[in-house]
Structure 1
């Protein structure tokens, strides 16, 4: 029996050793429970839920299962692409922060199954609570990430208090927060992939970072729309677009990316993150469209 168990564990290690999620589980203190949720069959993992994300205020794990996920970037790159049929054809459609649908349906699609939201964008959602949380038949799940100081549930977390109030006003709303352990996991992945400590390097992770990490846990195939790669902004004749597709005339996307990449403190390392995404796409079923990425 001992020999059989040893061989089984060896096979599992070999099979998953190339996957970033597996490499880091033991570093994050998730132990056997974290490995078990990762290695289960999709149906079993769905039943167990994803322990890194808990509901407000009940603290129940997120349960979400998707075959093909359309992850829609908020970038102006999606404008004029008329990608709605491709996006909506997926089993799950994911969006970020408060990116709207109305008025952009032809390019970004017409439904939302999940929104990954930064703690800094929560005030924008609670300004329109009926639109985001209160519409009849709304099945959208909201996953909110943020530091413990804002997300703590002891009454001192400003963002958590906003979300708890929204959950009380709209009891059918599906609102989840990223646990402290999961936040640490995402920081550790950044250091693992870039060699830089996020805090010491003055970096802020983007909502795209948290979205791709969650998608690799949930989705069998990930199709990302409207996201540029890490070399795009330094290529000749690149397409100049607004930073957000719903902010016409706003700052140029590449100008924003380059500014953040070189900021000594408090910058989103968008370009660095895109290089990591390209690496992940070699070991996960991740594809990028509009523009399409050429992965070596």
Structure 2
């Protein structure tokens, strides 16, 4: 009799736990993170199957492409991390003293793939050990032979079989959209925004790193300060766009823009949980950003 009551008690406890879990998922808008299964390796043949990313790093450096990195002299500090994560086609050669030389992962926008191809030997031979994680809209990344960027990546995988190239899955992209909505209260598509490569990079870093040092990324209030320094949008394009000018244009645009400042306010929220740090430029997650 006691054994039967114990079994019933266990059954009720398990049932209650499942109900609570389902309720939690429902309240979160079904934002279930599929983790590293959302990064699928691109193999030389579409029919050769898929492999998910397997990566874990203790301490990571996320290196922004911002002009703030120019003259920073943080290269050795960056390279001292277990894993170094960079974005798009930001070069290290010629800027080693400021941004370091090592690259463990590159998170790349579909629009930046042509930039990689222009320096093919450098990226896929010199940096052959780098993991490339490419994100893009379904029309470019579809795997039925009609995804132009995906097809290009398959060709690269054939040409450089040592290189590990991963595509961000559609489910993962939708997950990132839902994270943006939960953090801001705004639907990403209805607000006319495109998530930036930085956003996908930070999501990946939060998943694979135990601790994260972010270099070159300003906080959301920086550009509203009257005496803020003017720096180029990219550290490797000295005479082109001003960073804060670019951020303001995108933040105010009604359609087809990245919400750089909004995203940085999201990172501040994440940093308050203790995993993210901003050693250069130094800023605290406790700083209040302007609306």
- Both proteins in one fold, TM over 0.5: yes
1:97-136 alignment runs, 5 A limit: 97-135=88-126
Do structure 1's residue 224 and structure 2's residue 210 form an aligned pair? no
Q: Deviations over 1:178-233 (max 9, x none)?
A: 00000000011111111111111110110000000111111000100000110000
2:236 maps to 246
Q: Is the contact made by 1:118 and 1:207 (CA closer than 8 Å) also made in structure 2?
A: yes
1:87 maps to 78
Q: 1:11 to 1:224 in 2, by over 3 A?
A: farther
The alpha-carbon deviation at position 114 of structure 1 amounts to 0.2
Do structure 1's residue 279 and structure 2's residue 273 form an aligned pair? no
Do structure 1's residue 55 and structure 2's residue 45 form an aligned pair? no
Q: 1:3 to 1:180 in 2, by over 3 A?
A: same
1:176 maps to 166
The alignment of Structure 1 onto Structure 2 pairs a total of residues equal to 271
Question: What is the CA–CA distance in structure 2 between the aligned matches of 1:202 and 1:71, rounded to whole Å?
Answer: 27
Question: What is the CA–CA distance in structure 1 between the aligned matches of 2:100 and 2:141, rounded to whole Å?
Answer: 31
Do structure 1's residue 201 and structure 2's residue 191 form an aligned pair? yes
Q: Is the contact made by 2:41 and 2:164 (CA closer than 8 Å) also made in structure 1?
A: yes
Do structure 1's residue 151 and structure 2's residue 177 form an aligned pair? no
> Equivalent of 2:30, from 27, 31, 34?
27
Q: Is the contact made by 2:64 and 2:214 (CA closer than 8 Å) also made in structure 1?
A: yes
The alpha-carbon deviation at position 284 of structure 1 amounts to 4.3
1:293 maps to 283
Normalising to structure 1: TM-score of the pair? 0.86
Superposed CA RMSD = 2.3
Question: What is the CA–CA distance in structure 1 between the aligned matches of 2:281 and 2:17, rounded to whole Å?
Answer: 42
> Equivalent of 1:187, from 162, 173, 177?
177
Question: What is the CA–CA distance in structure 1 between the aligned matches of 2:238 and 2:72, rounded to whole Å?
Answer: 16
The alpha-carbon deviation at position 79 of structure 1 amounts to 1.1
Q: Which sections of structure 2, spanning at least 5 residues, go unmatched? A: 1-9, 44-48, 287-291
The alpha-carbon deviation at position 133 of structure 1 amounts to 1.3
Question: What is the CA–CA distance in structure 2 between the aligned matches of 1:261 and 1:84, rounded to whole Å?
Answer: 31
Normalising to structure 2: TM-score of the pair? 0.87
Q: Is the contact made by 2:59 and 2:212 (CA closer than 8 Å) also made in structure 1?
A: yes
| SS of structure 1 residue aligned to 2:38 | strand
